[in-house]
Every structure is written in structure tokens, then in C-alpha cells.
Amino acid sequence: MERVYIGLGSNLATPVAQLDAALQALDRLPRSQRVATSSFYTSEPLGPADQPRYVNAVTALDTHLEPLQLLDALQAIEQAQGRERKAERWGPRTLDLDILLFGNRLIDEARLQVPHYHMQARPFVLYPLAEIAPERLCLADGRKLIDLLAACAPEGLERLERSTTA
């Protein structure tokens, strides 16, 4: 069993409800168990500025699935929640699920790169990750989460106040 961290994001079709539904879908994954989920945060979109703010979170999952099996499952959840893959990168979407870290693995395949590329520059990934990850988390490529946080200001990132989380 390996600990996997998954980034969640949505800025269409009631984003908080999209993330809640995605967390429920993750709870139904075979040979996997969700063990922690960060608070939800709002952030400015990457890419085109003429789109709504995103709602983001990070969840930790213990799984026996292999990386590409998990990726396929995540993409099926995205599709079930109305995700349309378009040529436009960083456009609006109902749901985005990204494998950020997969145990201590370095993965560089056509469909999957782990650690997730550019996560070091994304406060909407790093701050939720830091909320649920061990204090001394070290990525498989040797970078330390604490160092990444120090180099990435939380500009535009706001924690959502919620009465309960899924």
C-alpha cells in the first residue's frame, strides 16, 4: 500500500459540490482508502483570466492500485462529473484530479509525471498539501515540502469556511 496525494480543483457547476462528489467517488475506489483531506481553498485561475475562481483541495489516499490504474480511475471520475478535455490548457472545468505524489516514486511517462510538474509554483497545491502531509515531507526527487512552501507565497489563496467536509 502506498500513500498518494491527489489535487482536486473545480471552477464550474458548483465547485464545492463537485469536490465533495469527487471525494465520495474516491471513497469508492477499489483497494484504496482516503485517509485525510485538506480544507477547501479558493484561488485565481491559471491561464485565461476570464473564468471563475477555482476551489481546490488535496486528499491523501492509501492505495494498492498501480499509478496508471489510479490515473484511469481519476479520469473516469472526472468524466462522470462532466469534465470535457479540450485543447485549451488551464481552461475552466467541472473537475480536475491530479496525482501529485505517489509514495516515493518518480514517474515520467507520457500520461503521468510524478511529482506533478509545476506543483512547486502552485500555492493552491502546496498549502493544502502541507495541511495534511507529514511536517517533514520530502518528495521523491529530493525536494522538501517546507522549502517549496518558503519559495511560494500564498497570494490569492483563501481558505473556505465550511461547517463540515466530506
Catalytic residue among 83, 108, 141, 147: 83
Residue 62 is among the residues annotated as catalytic for this protein: no
The answer to whether residue 96 is catalytic is yes
Q: Which of 93, 108, 147, 159 is catalytic?
A: 93
For 112, other C-beta atoms within 10 Å of its C-beta total 15
Cβ atoms 73, 29 nearer than 8 A: yes
Q: Which of 2, 56, 64 is nearest to 30 (CA)?
A: 64
User: Which residue among the candidates 20, 34, 96, 122 is catalytic per the annotation?
Assistant: 96
**Catalytic (active site) residue 50:** no
H-state helical runs in 30-159: 67-80, 123-132, 145-150
Selecting among 20, 31, 72, 98, the annotated active-site residue is 98
Note if 27 is an active site residue.
no
Catalytic positions:
83, 93, 96, 98
